[in-house]
Amino acid sequence: MVSADGRASDDTVAALGEFGLIRRMVADRTQPATTLLGPGDDAALVAAPDGRVVATTDVLVSGVHFRLDWSSPEQIGRKAVAVNLADLAAMGAVPTSVLVGLACPGDTSVPLLTELAEGMWAEASRARAGLVGGDVVRAEQLVVSVTALGDLGGRPPVTRAGARPGDILAVCGRLGWAAAGLAVLGRGFRSPVGVVNAQRAPEPPYAAGPAAAVAGATAMIDISDGLLADLGHLAEASGVGLDVRTERLRVDRKLVDVGSALGADPLHWVLTGGEDHALAATFPSFADLPEGWEQIGTVLLPDTGVTVDGSPYERSGGWEHWR
Ligand X SMILES: Nc1ncnc2c1ncn2[C@@H]1O[C@H](COP(=O)(O)OP(=O)(O)OP(=O)(O)O)[C@@H](O)[C@H]1O
Ligand Y SMILES: Cc1ncc(C[n+]2csc(CCOP(=O)(O)O)c2C)c(N)n1
* Residue nearest to ligand X as judged by C-beta position: 224
**Is residue 275 within the footprint of ligand X (CB under 6 A)?**
no
Cα separation, 141 vs 229, in Å, equals 29
Site string for ligand Y, 66-85 (x = CB under 6 A): xx---------------x--
**230-250 residues labelled b (16+ CB within 10 A) or e (exposed):** bbbebbeebebbbbbeeeebe
The nearest distance, CB 274 to ligand Y, in angstroms, is: 4
Interaction mask 34-73, ligand X, x per CB under 6 A: ------------------------x---------------
Which phi and psi (to 5°) does residue 185 adopt?
-65, -40
Q: How far apart are CA 162 and CA 158, in angstroms?
A: 8
CA nearest neighbour of 94 among 33, 50, 133: 50
Cβ-based nearer residue to ligand Y, 243 or 275: 275
Phi and psi at 32, nearest 5°, equal -75, 170
Q: Is 276 in the site for ligand X (CB under 6 A)?
A: no
To the question of whether residue 134 is assigned a binding role by annotation, the answer is yes
For residue 181, the partner it binds in ligand Y, ligand X, Mg ion, none, with Cβ less than 5 to 8 A by kind, is none
Distance CA 230, CA 242 (A): 11
Q: Please, which residue, 198 or 300, has the CB nearer to ligand X?
A: 198
- The CA-CA-CA angle for residues 125, 131, 133, to 5°, reads 175
Q: Does 252 bind ligand X (CB under 6 A)?
A: no
d(CA 98, CA 54): 12
* Least Å from the CB of residue 165 to ligand X: 24
Which CB sits closer to ligand Y, 36 or 64?
64
Q: Least Å distance between CB 83 and ligand X?
A: 6
Window 212-241: residues binding Mg ion (CB under 5 A): 222, 224-225
What is the rounded distance in angstroms from the CA atom of residue 224 to the CA atom of residue 284?
A: 24
Q: Which does 66 bind (CB under 5 to 8 A by kind): ligand Y, ligand X, Mg ion, none?
A: ligand Y
Question: How many C-beta atoms surround the C-beta of residue 288 within 10 A?
Answer: 18
Contact call for residue 123 and ligand X (CB under 6 A): no
Which spans of this chain sit near ligand Y (rule: CB under 6 A)? 58, 63-67, 83, 182, 224-225, 274-275, 319
Interaction site with Mg ion (CB under 5 A): 58, 87, 222, 224-225
